[in-house]
Each structure stands twice: as structure tokens, then as C-alpha cells.
Structure 1
């Protein structure tokens, strides 16, 4: 692919419509060349693989906040699937039941609470595999997860639930956030459980830093699985889609690349079925 890396300007992570302005690239920059070479190696391995039940025409890597101080291809940086239509990353989740890699059904290997795990890792604290960081007290897990996701995508504490989050929780879980779970109440409960988030409004770490670390671990795993082990792994933001027969090796490799970047081992969730949304 002639242009496998894109750099965009500052954007708001929580605003799905804000993609950031596309910026020019100095193509002699060693950091650009390293990123582009890695994407091209991944695309070269992926090209002959049989990926069915979805659209996928190769990857590009998109970095964010390229117009901000300190940018050195170290902000954002996820792999995005290019497709002549809706890619596997953007299609409705239940359609992934029909996906096949080289004729075999896929399994989704998720990094559990990825951004929160990275924040703790920066303090030298590893996740406890027996404790779900989103499950505590009387507040539903999905509400706690939604508040943490909103918060870590912003630079301060929200004063209200976003319309998008309200709509998603109502559609997916039948939960009326604004009626049953005032955001101030949820914030207090989460910070009591995770005091590491108390200073978030003044933190020097932001979503683009967390996403770079996460995406680098994911991309390193995709390349290591493909080029060294002949295993096709499709990145899905904070997860990998792999053949069911390869889930153990994919877990081992992603744990290794995550540990190399963060210094701690992650906890995984494995999905092999994707139900339709609530109606």
C-alpha cells in the first residue's frame, strides 16, 4: 500500500464525528518510515489470507494529535481496515458470527479494561485476573464501564451523560442512565473504587497516549503472529480476531507484546458469539 500511515490533527476522542484534520507527512522521518514499514509487512502477510464474511482490503495506521507538542508518531496509532464497503471493524457485531479466517470461525480476544489497565501499569500495579474492575457495588457493570470510557476519552470529568452513551445503554442494556444513575453518583462510586482516577483532570496522560500504547501492543502481536507463526490476527481496536484453533497462541503472544510495552500482563476476555442488540 503506497500510503499506509495517516497523521491527523487534534480531535476529541468522545466525538465520533471529529476525525481531526489530515496533516502532511515528512516521509523521510525515521519514525514514519518505521511505522509505514510495519504496516506494509502486515499487509503483505495478510494479502493471501482468506478472510470471508466481511470486507477487508488492507490496513492503514492513523496517528492523532499530529499538530500537538511532543508528537513523534506516539499518539493514537490504531490499525484501521480499509474496505470497499463496511469493514469488519465497523459492521454490526452479530455479523462476526459469519466471519471466517481461512475457512475457520473467529474468536475475539479482548484486552479487559485496556486503558484502565495501562494507567495502573504506569504505577507498577498489575491487574488481578480474579477481580473485574468494572464490577463492584450496586451500580451495573455496563454503567461503570461507560463512565470510565467517557472519562478516559476526555480531559476532565463530565457534568452529564453524553447523548450517545445514554442511547447506547438504553438500546443495548435497557438502562435509562439519566433517570436511574446520576453521573455524580457514578463518579463518586468509581473514584472510591479506583482512586487512581481522582486526579484525571490534571493528568498529563490522555486518551491519545493510552491508545498509542494499546495499539502498539496489538500491532506488534498481529505482526508476530503472522510473520513468525503463520497465524492471521485481525485487530479490532483493543482486541484481536483469530481462528478458534489459534486462541491459545494468540493469547500468549498478545500477553507478551502487552507486557513488553506496559510491564504487566493483561487479563483477557474471550468471545465466540455475538448476539444481536436488544430491540
Structure 2
């Protein structure tokens, strides 16, 4: 946290004000160790009680920046700092699109079939985050209470009074890269011969190969255990390249972030189409959560937009 926030918290919990109770060094399952915590003191609760506040009374200003640009980092997994930028017609258009989507979702009928007081249903603000200091890299949508939920929790969502389902673009990254190469996508991207029992590992290595700008010298983080102990990364990468001959020149070019940008453009366009069609949709990167009764119409929009943006036929699956 910024130093100014710490100063404010110290003041609020001081004997002079006494509005917060501070507990230093408490065990925390979220921090993975000790963490200082704050809670409302009786003096604050007494002042708040007449107001009858709820989650709906808290939120960010509508003027909050929703188009975020982040720096380039050598390590793809490293946290990136935000950058200042000059607005252009492009960034203004992106901002207008996001604010239109956010205003639509703020008015949507979204509830939970099971009462979960820890979930703030009013937290629906999305932001679009671009990478590598460029507005044609990344661009995925982040935010919204549903993105922090696991698949089982999302099944308790009610959209327009109906049970929710999640529709996922299948193998979206490979399909987009095939479209960039002008090649037909006619295979299961992760069914690499000889590695049929290591599908999850192949999927992660494929992603790393498209984000890297040089051949991989070692297994990406959290992938080594997905392959036999004797396996070498060069053997895995070689098998992936042989399986994907039509796009072999795209590996180790950093094309992954450009593909992610196309994915994000597809998602924004699909959301705007669903908004016009009266279909409430909650985005989760390359998937959307919609009412079960709207699933067929939403899928049709997703596939149409995907083909328009890539020239490749897409595929949408129901997340189980």
C-alpha cells in the first residue's frame, strides 16, 4: 500500500479518533503469514448505524480510469507497473466501449441463489489492461465480483432470474494464431503425438512458446511436474512445433500478446453485440457467463464475432 494509506489508517486507529481497531501481526490465510488487520471500532459503528449501509453504498467513481497501460517486463509472469499515456482517438474509443459495458452491467439483474455475504454483487466495474506499453498487446478485461469466484460458486449465479452457464472459446489462442498465419485450423492444438497423457503441460508450454522471444531454455514455471522427470524442454517444444507446422514461424516471436489483443477485441465486440440483443453477459477473459435461456443466442454471437475478427471458424463449449 502507498505510505499515505498507512498514515491514514494509523490516524483512524489512534486514541485521538478511535474509529478503527488495529491488530498487529495476526495469522492470515490470505497473506500466507502474519498480517495487520483493521476493523470498525464501537465509535465508528455507532456513527454508521443510523445510515443502514449495504454493499451497494460502496464503489468506485464512474470517472475511474478503465483503460490501463502496463510496462514491458522480461519475465512474462512478473508484476507490471502502470504507465501514464496520452489519449488518442483509439484510447478514447476503448474507454467509451468499457464505460458503456460497465453502465450496462451495473443495471443488470444479477443475484445469487445462495446467500453469500462476502460477495459484493455491486462490484461490477471492468477495466481493460494492455501490456508491454502498447495498445495492440494484451487488452483483457479484469474486475467484477464474478472473476474472483471459482466454477462451483459461479453455478449459484442467477442472471435475469435464470440459472447461469459459462460459455468458453475453445483453444482460442491457437485458433487466432492460425488466423494470423492464414492457415486453416484443422487439429486439436494440444493433442500432440506422444504427449497425449500430458495435455495440460502441452497447453502451458504452447502458451509459453508464443509469448517468448527466444527458444525456451527450461520448463516454464509450474510445468516441469506435468511431464516425465526424464523429459527435456527441447523435446517437448520440438514435438509442439512438428504438430503445428503451419504456424511454426510464429513461435518465439512474442505473438502471444498480439493474439491476446485479438481475443480481447473479440470479447469486447461480443459483449457490445449481446448488450444490443438484451443478453446479460459477464466476461471471464475468453469466456462469458450468461443466463441458461440465452446460451444459444450468446453462442451464435460469439462464433460470428470470432469469425469476423480472425477469418477462422471458432468453437464454443459449455464449461462443466
TM-score, normalisation: structure 1: 0.80
Residue of structure 1 in register with 2:266 after alignment? 217
Among 114, 136, 145, the alignment partner of 1:74 is 136
The alpha-carbon distance between structure 1 residues 121 and 46, as it changes in their structure 2 partners (threshold 3 A), is: same
The alpha-carbon distance between structure 1 residues 177 and 63, as it changes in their structure 2 partners (threshold 3 A), is: same
- Is the CA contact 1:127–1:267 (under 8 Å) kept in the aligned structure 2? no
Higher percent of residues as strand:
2
- Is the CA contact 2:155–2:164 (under 8 Å) kept in the aligned structure 1? yes
Q: Does 2:23 match 1:23?
A: no
Structure 2 residue ranges without an equivalent (≥5): 1-61, 113-118
Residue of structure 2 in register with 1:9 after alignment? 71
CA RMSD of aligned residues (A): 2.2
- Is the CA contact 2:270–2:302 (under 8 Å) kept in the aligned structure 1? yes
Residue of structure 1 in register with 2:287 after alignment? 239
Equivalent runs, 1:38-187 vs 2, <5 Å? 38-53=97-112, 55=120, 56-66=123-133, 71=134, 73-82=135-144, 87-128=145-186, 131-139=187-195, 140=197, 141-166=199-224, 176-177=226-227, 179=229, 181-187=231-237
1:33-79 residue CA offsets vs partner (Å, 9 max, x unmatched) = 1000000111111111133345532111111122xxxx3x2221111
- Is the CA contact 2:282–2:289 (under 8 Å) kept in the aligned structure 1? yes
CA distance in 2 between partners of 1:251 and 1:267 (Å): 9
Q: Does 2:248 match 1:248?
A: no
- Is the CA contact 1:127–1:266 (under 8 Å) kept in the aligned structure 2? no
CA distance in 2 between partners of 1:45 and 1:229 (Å): 12
- Is the CA contact 1:61–1:78 (under 8 Å) kept in the aligned structure 2? yes
CA distance in 2 between partners of 1:37 and 1:115 (Å): 26
Q: Which of these two proteins has the greater Rg computed from alpha carbons?
A: 2
TM-score, normalisation: structure 2: 0.70
The alpha-carbon distance between structure 1 residues 104 and 180, as it changes in their structure 2 partners (threshold 3 A), is: farther
3-state SS, counterpart of residue 140 of structure 2: strand
Q: Give the number of equivalent residue pairs.
A: 248
Residue of structure 2 in register with 1:277 after alignment? none
Work out which structure has the larger RCO, using CA pairs closer than 8 Å and 6 or more positions apart in sequence.
1
The alpha-carbon distance between structure 1 residues 133 and 155, as it changes in their structure 2 partners (threshold 3 A), is: same
Residue of structure 1 in register with 2:256 after alignment? 207
The alpha-carbon distance between structure 1 residues 13 and 252, as it changes in their structure 2 partners (threshold 3 A), is: farther
Among 207, 219, 242, the alignment partner of 1:192 is 242
CA distance in 2 between partners of 1:142 and 1:201 (Å): 19
1:72-119 residue CA offsets vs partner (Å, 9 max, x unmatched) = x2221111114xxxx322333332222222232222222221111111
CA distance in 2 between partners of 1:13 and 1:51 (Å): 38
